[in-house]
């Protein structure tokens, strides 16, 4: 049985915007409280759909957080409006009509702002889990450091298991001391977003070339919360059968 530590927690209040590292968080059947509960929508091929950094990399230059519901103070069933900071430093509260106009000016396209306490994940209720051994192994393969923010993880774990082992953990469970239990569903097949630098939005195509060639385009795992609770950085984690 592999064991280890929860190294980092990240939540992304607005889909495809920069997010925030937190020390603790509540989890329930929806996933991580407050994660991707806000999103931009746009008209694409005659239908309204999420606007993401795949279509608008500039979104990564905007930062979203919950300054009045820090860490586990945020209740998953009632996440507050996110605070959004523009690349120039101006702050807006989600729902402020000036935010929509500022985004449209910066992105060069019409958008709608929507929020949903259930989250707006592409694949429904889930969290993304990444692993320190795999991150370091991939850095060694690429020959340069990797910013974890590229992969938009929710939980980053250090376990006494080999790099890339998690890709074969379908159906197994990760149990955290705070009561959170995750069921590993499948490896996360990555889109092009990790090729973008989180600070500059510069594209690094080689990352995806190597990830696709050597690892089937997979990094991290998608997991479902099957045991609700509170998770905190530094707590013990166990991989169960």
Alpha-carbon separation of residue 20 from 17, 79, 82 (angstroms):
10, 15, 11
SS3 72: helix
Is the residue at 21 inside a domain?
Answer: no
CATH number at residue 141: 2.40.33.20
Is the residue at 42 inside a domain?
Answer: yes
- Residues 143 and 169 grouped into a single domain: yes
Sole residue written with tokens 């396209």: 109
- Residues 137 and 217 grouped into a single domain: yes
- Residues 92 and 174 grouped into a single domain: no
Distance between CA 2 and CA 131 in Å, rounded? 12
Per-residue pLDDT 10s for the chain (241 aa) are: 899 999 999 999 999 999 999 999 999 999 999 999 999 999 988 889 999 999 999 999 999 999 999 999 999 999 999 999 999 999 999 999 999 999 999 999 999 999 998 888 877 799 999 999 999 999 999 999 999 999 999 999 999 999 999 999 999 999 999 999 999 999 999 999 999 999 999 999 999 999 999 999 999 999 999 999 999 999 999 999 8
Sole residue written with tokens 């606007």: 51
Region for residue 177 given its phi and psi (left: phi exceeds 0; alpha: psi -120 to 50; beta: otherwise): alpha
Is the residue at 8 inside a domain?
Answer: yes
What value does the mean pLDDT of the chain take? 96
Full-model pTM: 0.96
Query: pLDDT tens for residues 105-127?
Result: 999 999 999 999 888 887 779 99
Is the residue at 26 inside a domain?
Answer: no
Is the residue at 23 inside a domain?
Answer: no
Residue that is last in its domain, among 77, 98, 115? 115
- Residues 109 and 127 grouped into a single domain: no
Residue that is last in its domain, among 115, 133, 158? 115
> Positive or negative, the Cα torsion across 90, 93, 232, 189?
negative
For residue 43, the enclosing domain spans 34-115
What are the two backbone dihedrals, phi and then psi, of residue 202, each rounded to the nearest 5 degrees? -65, 140
| Number of compact structural domains in the chain | 2
- Residues 222 and 132 grouped into a single domain: yes
> Positive or negative, the Cα torsion across 112, 117, 123, 127?
positive
């Amino acid at each position: 049985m592999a064991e280890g530590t929860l190294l980092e927690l990240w939540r992304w209040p607005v889909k495809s915007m920069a997010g925030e590292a937190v020390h603790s968080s509540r989890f329930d059947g929806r996933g991580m409280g407050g994660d991707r509960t806000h999103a931009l929508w746009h008209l694409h091929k005659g239908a309204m759909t999420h606007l993401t950094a795949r279509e608008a990399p500039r979104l990564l230059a905007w930062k979203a957080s919950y300054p009045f519901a820090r860490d586990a103070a945020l209740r998953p069933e009632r996440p507050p409006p996110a605070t959004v900071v523009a690349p120039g430093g101006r702050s807006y509260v989600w729902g402020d009509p000036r935010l929509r106009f500022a985004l449209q000016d910066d992105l060069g396209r019409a958008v709608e702002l929507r929020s949903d306490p259930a989250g707006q994940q592409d694949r429904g209720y889930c969290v993304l889990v990444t692993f320190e051994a795999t991150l370091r192994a991939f850095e060694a393969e690429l020959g340069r450091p990797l910013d974890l923010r590229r992969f938009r993880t929710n939980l980053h774990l250090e376990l006494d298991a080999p790099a890339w082992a998690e890709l074969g953990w379908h159906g197994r469970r990760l149990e955290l001391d705070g009561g959170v239990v995750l069921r590993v569903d499948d490896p996360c097949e990555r889109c092009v977003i990790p090729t973008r630098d989180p600070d500059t939005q510069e594209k690094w195509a080689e990352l995806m070339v190597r990830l696709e060639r050597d690892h089937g385009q997979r990094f991290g795992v998608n997991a479902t919360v099957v045991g609700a609770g509170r998770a905190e950085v530094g707590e013990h984690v166990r991989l169960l059968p």
